Structure 1
Amino acid sequence: MPAESDSTGRRRAGEMSADPGGVEGPLSGYHHETYVFRLPAESAVGEGGRWKCREPRESLLWFDRRCFDSEERLLTELQGRIDNIPDLIEVEGTVLQRFIEGQTLGELHASDTTVPEKEFEQILTLFGQLVAVRPRTLLVKRRCERRDRAREGDSAGFLDRLICFTEDRVYGDNLPEYGDLFADLNLDSDSFKQLRKHVSGLRERPFCLLHADLHRENLIVDRDRRLWAIDWELAMFGDPLYDLATHLYLMRYPPEQERRMRERWWALVEGVRPGSSRGWQEDLPKLLDYKKAQSVFTDVIRTSQALRLAPAADPTAYRSLLRRASRTIWDVLSKGAYPLGVEEVPGVSAIEAALTRWLRARAGGAQGS
């Protein structure tokens, strides 16, 4: 990625901003480099708030399948159908999203803590609105070919295409770089055969719009305690139960609140569109296990990437970082081992040794020694 001062996104934001020196960013985020600013007072648009200028990050590894060609086009079509999503404007050929002033739900209520009732109810309202959006009612250009889309209601086919993406694009495409590390963690192509067996037999449910990334950092609470859903980059059409599974996996509710979310969700979506929760009690554990399995490959790659880029000037600090990374991988692998058919999960020390070998085998990897 270009240096911050030379970033195309920063330059563009500065050109449009009322105060080039007051541009905020880049904000944290995986998919985009994002800058926030106010438009000039004489601008005919964008009064009363700040706006986001975003540029896709270069050389980005995608761990999730994308459905829509343009997040901005999707948000435009969803205005009036989904409450509390960012407005959009076009300024000098650049589409800007309104910056939602507030704090993320995660800043206010960390993982494993209870979400307040007012915000909890708004999450349920969002799920109800998503289920009401059917594929044929949303005219937004899609990235995938029709032949690559599951038949309407074919939840098993929908999940199989997600598994194919993880197998081909996350595992397969990264084998030249991470193959030795995967092998040391007892992960290979047979893992996906085991995963398919484990999650087979999903019931059919009518497809709807999915946000597919609803977690505490993508939910913004404003000063009036309205809850705003941001980052629709991974939105897609598919099995509504997959959206619930992803949400539960990422949100990490306390057990009692997770139980309430499950029960409220099925009653809600059945009222909006009958059949949307069909077989949910049997199928939700399978979809949660897919998310655990998917996270194994995602977290191994992200964690090892971060280690490789970490400064090694202080050997003691670096060894501590290596140990934490090893524990992170052990934790995610332990959770995903069963659906992936991994019979023996390497211990933290064995994972640390595998990471060290992987780092040493690469340019700049000597810091792992």
Structure 2
Amino acid sequence: MTTTTSAAELPGVDHQAKAVGAELVEGPLKGYHHQTYAVLLDPGSPFATDFRRLKLREPREGVYWYDMRWFSSEDLLLRRLNERHRDLFPYIPQVRELDVQGHRMAFLGFIEGVTLDRAPDSRGGRVAERFLRQIEDLFRSLAALDAEPLAAHGGQPAPCGCEGREQDLTRSGKGGSTAFLRGLTHFTVRHAYEGRQRASLHDLLVELGVPGNALNAFARAEPELTDRPRALLHGDLHRKNFIVDRVGALWTIDWELALIGDPLYDLATHLHLMAYYPEQELEMVRRWERAVGPDASAGARDDLPHYRAYKRVQSLCTDVIRAATRLVESPDTPGTDTACLRLRGTAALVRKALDAALEPLGIEKAPPRQAVEDVFDAWWRQEWKASHGGSAAATRSGQGPCGP
């Protein structure tokens, strides 16, 4: 399990950090699951020969996980890849361990560079050819690695408590890919959305026009997929998890959502998150097929739409939860001008996710943006009243929470 410490506790970090912290410590950096800092090392650090800066992280309290966990920590996986498979994965963060105040702690090297979305020749939808080649190389390495030893050393899904569901996700051979997609869908519908909904979100999807049985019907569909050999999957390959260094090498970071399963899922997730232009998306599919080989890509063109449908439904569930959580955790009071701006952004995000999930959920059309805004405004006011007492600001002229 990852253990973190403060900059002042780390041997070799200049202890004038309190006086010049801004020069030595950058952060907190953007991230959902952790509060992350980059710490500049002085020449006396035991890590100074390997790193210029270290990445120090602390889990954010109360963060909700939308994806199942397979590895107990990112450090554990990266350490094994570094020690045994550096030839396959030369561009992943290095891990170093050190005794700090009687505790054995793991530290990640901070990758210097810019995220792929900020690279000058890869902004917007199009990605430069040199980076496509390196992403193809990453898929080739993932397919070449024998994932079964990883599965035997901690690479297993966290138990969800539902009979037979862990077996779905870990099945290999006949029916393995079908069972893997079934397990993913079960986790999203039953645990990531319905479990959270029962706890605090009521049934926002129903109020947003998604019938109560739509998610369950999607989960029961269980399309039959072609069997592909299990592989290590990153599970979160998007533009902010690729770092371009000063010589143009593409590093892959944030392996927290790594899992073992059908390699086609990694491609589907990558395409979903990257939002390539159509011609580049087709090129990436061809590159992936070439990288992973005929066995790992068998039936991919027929099965890819099923995984992409799953990603659209998953995104709808997670976007609804995230949107509601951000509203209730915001400092704004419902009905104020700043709250209206926040509601408009929420409605736009959720409306887009609704549009994308219409087909896989069997829904004819999504409600208009104003109706989505009204649903979240009513929910937010109810939650605000429960926690603060009294009533929030009145709506304007009966024309919705933020006016016409």
TM-score of the superposition, structure 2-length normalised? Answer: 0.83
Letter in 2 for 1:105: L
Q: 1:156 — aligned with what? A: 178
Pair member with larger Rg: 2
Q: 2:154 — aligned with what? A: 141
Contact kept in structure 1, 2:56 and 2:107, CA below 8 Å: yes
Query: Take 2:256 and 2:203, find their aligned partners in 1: how far apart are those partners?
Result: 31
Query: Take 1:184 and 1:251, find their aligned partners in 2: how far apart are those partners?
Result: 30
Q: Does 1:326 align with 2:337?
A: no
Q: 1:213 — aligned with what? A: 236
Q: 1:238 — aligned with what? A: 261
Q: Does 1:300 align with 2:320?
A: yes
Query: Take 2:46 and 2:66, find their aligned partners in 1: how far apart are those partners?
Result: 39
Partner SS, residue 361 of structure 1: helix
Q: 2:162 — aligned with what? A: none
Query: Take 2:261 and 2:343, find their aligned partners in 1: how far apart are those partners?
Result: 38
**CA spacing shift, 1:180–1:368, aligned 2, 3 Å:** farther
Q: 2:358 — aligned with what? A: 337
Query: Take 1:325 and 1:193, find their aligned partners in 2: how far apart are those partners?
Result: 25
The one of 340, 358, 366 aligned to 2:379: 358
Contact kept in structure 1, 2:113 and 2:244, CA below 8 Å: yes
Q: Does 1:96 align with 2:90?
A: no
Contact kept in structure 2, 1:312 and 1:367, CA below 8 Å: no
Partner SS, residue 203 of structure 2: helix
Q: 1:174 — aligned with what? A: 196
- TM-superposed deviation, 1:148: 5.8
Partner SS, residue 6 of structure 2: helix
Which is worse superposed, 216-225 or 306-315?
306-315
- TM-superposed deviation, 1:286: 1.1
Q: 2:79 — aligned with what? A: 76
**CA spacing shift, 1:367–1:12, aligned 2, 3 Å:** farther
**CA spacing shift, 1:30–1:367, aligned 2, 3 Å:** farther
Query: Take 1:134 and 1:368, find their aligned partners in 2: how far apart are those partners?
Result: 60
- TM-superposed deviation, 1:310: 2.8
Partner deviation per Cα, 1:117-175 (whole Å, 9 max, x = no partner): 11110000000000112322335313536646331141110011111111122112112
- TM-superposed deviation, 1:196: 3.2
How is 1:1-369 mapped onto 2 (pairs within 5 angstroms)?
12-16=6-10, 17-18=13-14, 19-20=16-17, 21=21, 22-47=24-49, 48-79=51-82, 80=86, 81-91=88-98, 92=100, 93-108=104-119, 112-138=124-150, 140-144=153-157, 147=167, 149-153=169-173, 154-176=176-198, 177-187=200-210, 190-196=213-219, 200-270=223-293, 274-312=294-332, 315-362=336-383, 363-364=387-388, 366=392
- TM-superposed deviation, 1:58: 1.1
Contact kept in structure 1, 2:136 and 2:288, CA below 8 Å: yes
Partner deviation per Cα, 1:37-57 (whole Å, 9 max, x = no partner): 123422333334100111111
Contact kept in structure 2, 1:359 and 1:367, CA below 8 Å: no
Letter in 2 for 1:305: T
Structure 1 stretches of 4+ moved >4 Å: 109-112
Contact kept in structure 2, 1:101 and 1:222, CA below 8 Å: yes
Letter in 1 for 2:107: L
Q: 1:3 — aligned with what? A: none
Which is worse superposed, 333-342 or 203-212?
333-342
- TM-superposed deviation, 1:71: 1.0
**CA spacing shift, 1:181–1:121, aligned 2, 3 Å:** same
Contact kept in structure 1, 2:155 and 2:260, CA below 8 Å: no
Contact kept in structure 2, 1:207 and 1:239, CA below 8 Å: yes
Which is worse superposed, 250-259 or 356-365?
356-365
Q: How many residues align?
A: 358
Which is worse superposed, 335-344 or 314-323?
314-323
What is the aligned-residue identity percentage?
A: 39
Query: Take 1:127 and 1:356, find their aligned partners in 2: how far apart are those partners?
Result: 43
- TM-superposed deviation, 1:347: 1.3
Partner SS, residue 173 of structure 1: helix
- TM-superposed deviation, 1:188: 5.4
Q: Which runs of 5+ in 1 are unaligned?
A: 1-7
**CA spacing shift, 1:347–1:96, aligned 2, 3 Å:** same
Contact kept in structure 1, 2:229 and 2:262, CA below 8 Å: yes
Partner SS, residue 392 of structure 2: helix
Contact kept in structure 2, 1:198 and 1:286, CA below 8 Å: no
TM-score of the superposition, structure 1-length normalised? Answer: 0.90
**CA RMSD of the aligned region, Å?**
2.2
Query: Take 1:193 and 1:359, find their aligned partners in 2: how far apart are those partners?
Result: 26
